[in-house]
Amino acid sequence: MPEFTNEELISATNGKLVRSGNQEKIGGVSIDSRTLVPGDVFFALKGPHFDGHDYVEAAINKGAAAVIIEKEISIPPSWPGTVLKVPDTRQAFGYLARFHRLRFELPVIGITGSNGKTTTKELIAAILAQRGNVVKTEKNYNNEIGLPLTLLKINAATKAVVVEMGMRGKGQIAYLAELARPTLGVITNIGLTHLELLGSQAAIAEAKGELIQALPPSGVAVLNGDDPLVSRMGRACPGQPLFYRLSSGKDEAGPRPDLFAVAITTKGEREEVTVDGRWGKFDFSLPLLGRHNVANALAAALVGLSLGLTPAEVAQGLAGVQNVEKRLRKLEVAGITVLDDTYNASPASVQAALEVLRKLNNPGRKIAVLGDMLELGPISKEAHWQTGALVAASGCNALFAYGPLSLATKEGAAKNGVFARHFSSKEELWQELEAYLSPGDAVLIKGSRGMAMDEVVAKVITLEREGEQ
Return the H-helix or E-strand segment holding 435.
helix 426-436
The amino acid occupying position 424 is S
pLDDT of residue 192: 67
pLDDT of residue 467: 47
pLDDT, one tens digit per residue, over 83-98 is 999 999 999 999 999 9
Q: Are 55 and 122 in a shared domain?
A: no
CATH number of the structural domain spanning residue 24: 3.40.1390.10
Q: Are 110 and 76 in a shared domain?
A: no
Q: How confident is the model at residue 469 (pLDDT cuts 50, 70, 90)?
A: very low
Please say whether the beta carbons of 31 and 42 come within 8 A: yes
Q: Are 379 and 445 in a shared domain?
A: yes
Has this prediction a pTM greater than 0.85?
Answer: yes
Percentage of residues in the chain having pLDDT higher than 70: 96
- Final residue before a domain boundary, out of 22, 55, 87: 87
What is the extent of the structural domain holding 407? 329-468
pLDDT, one tens digit per residue, over 129-160 is 999 999 999 977 899 999 999 999 999 999 99
Domain presence at residue 64 = yes
Percentage of residues in the chain having pLDDT higher than 90: 84
Please say whether the beta carbons of 396 and 368 come within 8 A: yes
**Is 80 exceeded by the pLDDT of residue 124?**
yes
Q: How many domains does the chain have?
A: 3
**Is 80 exceeded by the pLDDT of residue 33?**
yes
Number of other residues whose CB lies within 10 A of the CB of residue 24: 8
pLDDT of residue 299: 98
Query: For the chain, what is the mean pLDDT?
Result: 93
pLDDT, one tens digit per residue, over 316-327 is 999 999 867 678
* Alpha helices (H) along 68-209: 89-101, 117-128, 146-151, 172-180, 195-198, 201-208
Q: Are 355 and 455 in a shared domain?
A: yes
Q: Are 79 and 220 in a shared domain?
A: no
CATH number of the structural domain spanning residue 338: 3.90.190.20
Domain presence at residue 97 = no
Domain presence at residue 324 = no
Output phi, psi for 274, to 5 deg.
-110, 130
pLDDT, one tens digit per residue, over 213-255 is 999 999 999 999 999 999 999 999 999 999 999 998 777 777 8
pLDDT of residue 466: 54
pLDDT, one tens digit per residue, over 167-199 is 878 999 999 999 999 999 999 999 766 566 666
Domain presence at residue 92 = no
How much is the average pLDDT of 313-337? 89
pLDDT of residue 409: 98
Between the CA of residue 132 and those of 106, 160, 161, 264, 292, what are the distances in Å? 12, 8, 11, 29, 28
Number of other residues whose CB lies within 10 A of the CB of residue 99: 19
